[in-house]
Amino acid sequence: MADRYLNFTGTAPGRFLTRRLGLPQPSPLRRWTPEHPYLEGELLLLTAGESAHGPELSTVLSRTHLDLAAESSSPAAVVVDATGISDVPALSEVHAALHPVVRSVAENGRVVVLGAPVSPSDHHQAAAQQALEGFVRSLGKELGRGRTATLVRMSSAAAAESTLRFLLSPRSAYVSGQVIEVGETEPPTTPVDWDRPLAGRTALVTGAARGIGAAVAEVLARDGARVVVLDVPSAQAELVRVADRLGGTALPLDITADDAGDRMASALAPADLDILVHNAGITRDRRLANMPSDRWDPVLDVNLTSVLRTTDALLKSGTLNRGGRVVATASIAGIAGNVGQTNYAASKAGIIGLVRSLAPVASAEHGVTVNAVAPGFIETKMTAAVPLFIREAGRRMNSLAQGGLPVDVAETTAWFASPGSGGVNGQVVRVCGQSLLGS
């Protein structure tokens, strides 16, 4: 479903009229294309407080394809190293660093603030570092013109390289107002080729016959993965088309089947699995008072129980390789709740619980990371079915004033899946243009 309003505000009369009426001014987002795979321009690196990462951080940032600069009249990105801020007075240095330059950040530009892990024992450091969260989330709401703001809490610049490359690229166009924690990896994992980081890896994507799942499979294949695409048997024709287009394999299977995990494992043999993307999902909306159990059960079964069951089976059987990645799909409805979606929001909140609990265990026992994407309003068949006025509100009620595309969720999934993202574990990252819901 085309976003006619976005197209209209892109014309001179449309811009004039909507400005006069004080209506939202979405900027067309710059996404990854083969011709323009990177952000172009200068990257301004600023420091607030004493940095523990100085030279290593500059080296990592110099590999983002942006030109590292100490001054710039219109930077494509600004990185503020605030990792050394350990008390509240020092926060004024964050203000002093960004205040003079924030207006000049280019359209579709990025502001990335680097913080340190919040200390459990030093409440002055904790107050100052937590303050950065409110700062970044507010900045994301102020920036406009397709610009985004993100906070990355990191303990090493090397471990954060894949995250910084993602955020400082067109791949993260619809990710804003997020807080991402990157832990240590020993030794830091690095792709052989950052432009094809998934080369030699095998990925299985559920619900991949259409919508977000098909886009995920496409982006993982673009990044070098061999893809196995799974969907219900009734979607086999569409599924085979996706598999053929990507040179992958189709696996028609209902994930709610008791033996779905075993059948996934045998479909993968003799190869093992590196990336498991739980994308399949359904809605059966109705207010709780009107919701019979036959609308409740299938939603919990597809969106949550089958994710738990198949993940457990593939971990237990050793099908998921060390260095493997599990990416599950939550939703902003699972964070904010939504009228008519007690079943769906429960299932998606359950995904968040699963991710946070399993992540440290899967990493310690299997060397596998577990993360979730939480999409906001994404332009798919699911959202095209939403009534017009609710759809229009969903599209505009975020800092970028537009809906996301399936590819935005796919790019975030590919970043989680990267061999370079070993330090990204237990994270729930919203791909929602910083939706006002649940922020």
Give catalytic residues, as residue numbers: 344
Q: Which is nearer to ligand NAD, 48 or 330 (CB)?
A: 330
**Measured from the CB of residue 246, what is the shortest distance to ligand NAD in angstroms?**
15
Per-position x/- string for 241-280, each x denoting binding to ligand NAD as judged by CB under 6 A, each - no binding: -------------xxx----------------------xx
Report whether 116 contacts 156 (CB < 8 A). Answer: no
Q: Which is nearer to ligand NAD, 68 or 282 (CB)?
A: 282
**Measured from the CB of residue 206, what is the shortest distance to ligand NAD in angstroms?**
6
**Measured from the CB of residue 345, what is the shortest distance to ligand NAD in angstroms?**
11
Report whether 422 contacts 191 (CB < 8 A). Answer: no
Report whether 209 contacts 180 (CB < 8 A). Answer: no
Residues composing the chain: 439
CA distance 168 to 106: 13
Q: Verify binding: residue 434, ligand NAD, rule CB under 6 A.
A: no
Q: Verify binding: residue 86, ligand NAD, rule CB under 6 A.
A: no
- Give the 3-state secondary structure percentages of the chain, helix then strand then coil, rounded to 5: 45, 20, 40
Q: Which is nearer to ligand NAD, 96 or 385 (CB)?
A: 385
Q: Verify binding: residue 212, ligand NAD, rule CB under 6 A.
A: yes
Q: Which stretch binds ligand NAD (CB under 6 A): 11-19, 31-39, 58-66, 228-236?
A: 228-236
Q: Verify binding: residue 430, ligand NAD, rule CB under 6 A.
A: no
Per-position x/- string for 276-305, each x denoting binding to ligand NAD as judged by CB under 6 A, each - no binding: ---xxxx-------------------x---
Sign of CA dihedral 231, 234, 235, 239: positive
Q: Which CA distances in Å does 177 have to 95, 137, 391, 437?
A: 17, 5, 22, 12
CA distance 43 to 69: 6
Phi first, then psi, for residue 35 (nearest 5°) are -75, -35
DSSP characters over 166-227: HHTSGGGTT--SEEEEE---SSPP--S-TTSTTTT-EEEEES-SSHHHHHHHHHHHHTT-EE
Q: How many Å separate Cα 311 from the centre of its chain?
A: 20
Contacts (CB under 6 A) with ligand NAD, residues 369-388: 375, 377-378, 380-383
**Measured from the CB of residue 23, what is the shortest distance to ligand NAD in angstroms?**
23
Q: Which is nearer to ligand NAD, 86 or 331 (CB)?
A: 331
How many residues of this chain bind ligand NAD (CB under 6 A)?
A: 27
* Residue showing tokens 């994930």: 255
Contacts (CB under 6 A) with ligand NAD, residues 313-372: 329, 331
Chain residues that interact with ligand NAD, rule: CB under 6 A = 206-207, 209-213, 231-232, 235, 254-256, 279-282, 302, 329, 331, 375, 377-378, 380-383
